[in-house]
Amino acid sequence: MNSKSLTCCVVFLLYTSVLSSTSPSSPIHINSTTSTLNVTLPHSLSQSLEDLALKTLTNQHHTGSLYRAVLPRNLSGIEVSIVRLTGKSLWNAGARFSNVLIPARSVSVPPARRVAIVYQNLGNWSNHWYTVPGYRLITSVLGFRVLDVSDQDNVKEISLKMKNPVQILFRDLSDEKMLSRVSCVSFKAQHEDKEAAGISRMILPGVCYGSSHGDYSVIEPLEKDKKKKVASWRTWWWLWMVGLVLGFGVSFFILYLLHAYSTKRRLNVIKMEGLKSYNPMSVNVKS
Ligand SMILES: *[C@@H]1O[C@H](CO)[C@@H](O)[C@H](O)[C@H]1NC(C)=O
Ligand SMILES: *[C@@H]1O[C@H](CO)[C@@H](O)[C@H](O)[C@H]1NC(C)=O
Ligand SMILES: *[C@@H]1O[C@H](CO)[C@@H](O)[C@H](O)[C@H]1NC(C)=O
Ligand SMILES: *[C@@H]1O[C@H](CO)[C@@H](O)[C@H](O)[C@H]1NC(C)=O
């Protein structure tokens, strides 16, 4: 009886400890990390998309209207658009075009006379150029660049301020439940062919914040490995339990056999002694 309750206790403790060690199917607590990526077509792509967008702009002259750039066939699936604004209006009112919300006063001062904002959506090419080890992109990569186009022959990037970050909107992601699972990722060109990825927590569904030019997307950790790990834990746990039960069963059986054997032997001894005492010869001799 004592050993039984002890076994129960041990099993219970093991069970709870195993459960508590497997239960962290927890959200990722990464605030901001950087890693180098496997980017096959880096900076040059952005540059050529930007050039194509600027070419569109020279043919169209409406300030404040968003124009879609015409891309060569071998880039179909990518969307690039461009808007031209006065530096003053960008400074005073910000800009809300495409999926990017640039708040007022988020570009560095003094604002340029004329600015253009290039937006790009890499669409089905996103996975082709960007991979984050251990993660999966769940949206296409969106990018933007704010350019000083006051001088057509000397187009420059305008730097942004950290204080009023730009919002990049991923409209398909509106479910609050996924906030614990997904993260924002930003890709910044560093060298010729190396890019750095900054990973940060998503706070509002479908909104990522950026304080620099670059490409943005949303990632989630690859589930397979985690599931496998949990599965293997479970398997080990079950194997262990089965082993435990079998072990107890076998020891009880052996104990039972030993007990039965010793009882039988004792019986035999008694029988033998009985036989000894009942010896017809001796009886004969006596009589
Ligand atoms: C992560 O960000 C949260 C708020 O977003 C902050 O409270 C926490 O201190 C940060 N943790 C680290 C390790 O930076
Ligand atoms: C980078 O990607 C290419 C193909 O896209 C692949 O062959 C190569 O192994 C990858 N390198 C790393 C370090 O992941
Ligand atoms: C697309 O084609 C142009 C020539 O028409 C070429 O210069 C460019 O490198 C190609 N881009 C890609 C991504 O294949
Ligand atoms: C993306 O889709 C377009 C058609 O919409 C196709 O022509 C193109 O090859 C695709 N690109 C990639 C990298 O799959």
Per-residue confidence (pLDDT) for residue 234, from 0 to 100: 81
Per-residue confidence (pLDDT) for residue 42, from 0 to 100: 53
In degrees rounded to 5, what are phi and psi of residue 274? -60, -45
Which is higher by pLDDT, 40 or 212? 212
Identify the weakest region by mean pLDDT among 8-22, 102-116, 217-231, 267-281: 8-22
Please give the average per-residue pLDDT across 78-89, as a whole number: 92
pLDDT exceeds cutoff 80 at 74 = yes
CA distance 218 to 41: 20
The response to whether residue 128 sits with its C-beta less than 6 Å from ligand 4 reads yes
**Model pLDDT for residues 258-270, shown as the tens digit of each residue:** 888 888 887 776 6
Per-residue confidence (pLDDT) for residue 99, from 0 to 100: 92
Per-residue confidence (pLDDT) for residue 220, from 0 to 100: 92
Name the pLDDT band for 10 (thresholds 50, 70, 90): very low
pLDDT exceeds cutoff 60 at 13 = no
Residues facing residue 201 across a β-bridge? 183
CA of 23 to the centre of ligand 1 (A): 23
Average pLDDT of the residues of the chain: 77
For residue 266, give Cα distances in angstroms to 261, 271, 273.
9, 8, 10
Per-residue confidence (pLDDT) for residue 15, from 0 to 100: 40
**Model pLDDT for residues 228-250, shown as the tens digit of each residue:** 666 677 888 888 889 899 988 88
The pick from 71, 75, 76 for probing ligand 4's pocket by mutation, whose C-beta has the most ligand atoms within 8 angstroms, reads 76
CA of 43 to the centre of ligand 4 (A): 20
Q: Whose CA is nearest to atom 2 of ligand 2?
A: 38
pTM over 0.75: no
CA of 38 to the centre of ligand 2 (A): 6
- Compute and round to an integer the Cα radius of gyration of the chain: 37
